[in-house]
Structure 1
Amino acid sequence: MTKNCIYSIPESFLALLTVFISSCLFAQQNNSDPKIQNQFWKNVQFGGGIGLGFGSGFTDISLAPSAIYNFNEYLALGAGVQYKYLKQRDFYASHLYGGSAIGLFNPIPEIQLSAELEQLRVNVNLEGSNTNSQDYWNTGLFIGAGYRSGSATIGGRYNVLTDKNNIYGSAFMPFIRVYF
């Protein structure tokens, strides 16, 4: 009978020690400085793009929200999502959706250099033909530069992965980028 009692004392002690250490760890976690927690959100900026285009039988609607984290005044990294609807009457309708990762470098406050990796799923439905519909992934790697004033940047970017099956009309694209 004493044999059972000897084994129960260390188990009880171990259980109490575990509870005590756990409560100390949680107490340390709950007492963290709110200023440090809020500092993360002070470095986050939100932005993106909205586009509407209408013409003679043509519709182009796009939505591309994004967010960046400013590590310092020179470097920011972020991510975004994108959706685009294109339709040419009596020819095709297309849905494009996906995501992107972006890196921004500001060597001086007025100049912004960027690199953006974009991965889009492309669904094209050709009118009058179910056999010619296409579903595929399109990858773009854009290198860009722009003039920055406050939270807005205007510039151009070039898709270095352009090939004959590119979903864009040109490898070079102008842009206006705004983060709040």
Structure 2
Amino acid sequence: MTIYQFSVRGITGEEISLDRYRGQVLLIVNTASGCGFTPQYEGLEALYRRYRDKGFVVLGFPCNQFGGQEPGAEAEIATFCKTQFDVDFPMFSKIDVNGEHAHPLFRYLKKEKAGILGSGIIKWNFTKFLIGRDGEPVARFAPTTKPEEITDDIEKALAA
């Protein structure tokens, strides 16, 4: 199984197959507009702009499961990301990443890259999953890991 078997809803409501990203290196991130880590949008956008011509894409998935830090509707989230951080990478509809309503994509990611404690639970917003060109998870990064700290991992995945 790879991420290409999953479909997600874009931030404007359209159904999108992740197969559209086949052959690219992806960074899948659960995001929030009112989080202490929200300034990471700037770093994520910088990574996207630096590597997109080499086949790299950041995919942002807003999530309101952690402290209610993403209460707005999709249109509000899109406007916030664009006006505050000039986000140009793809954003998707709000989802759950944990619990019985967790999106199947995040269930898969947590199973494949369970994290440091092996529980599979996502502890907070801005958990990042690096996906190789083959559609399989390569690495998982904690919310405290700043986007600029994973450039070596991204470059290795792009070179593979």
* Bucket of the pairwise TM-score, normalised by the shorter protein: under 0.3
TM-score (norm 2): 0.27
Flag the structure with more relative contact order, 1 or 2, with Cα contacts below 8 A and sequence separation at least 6: 2
- Max Rg structure: 1
Structure with the higher strand share, 1 or 2 = 1
TM-score, normalized by length of structure 1? 0.25
Which structure features the higher share of helix residues?
2
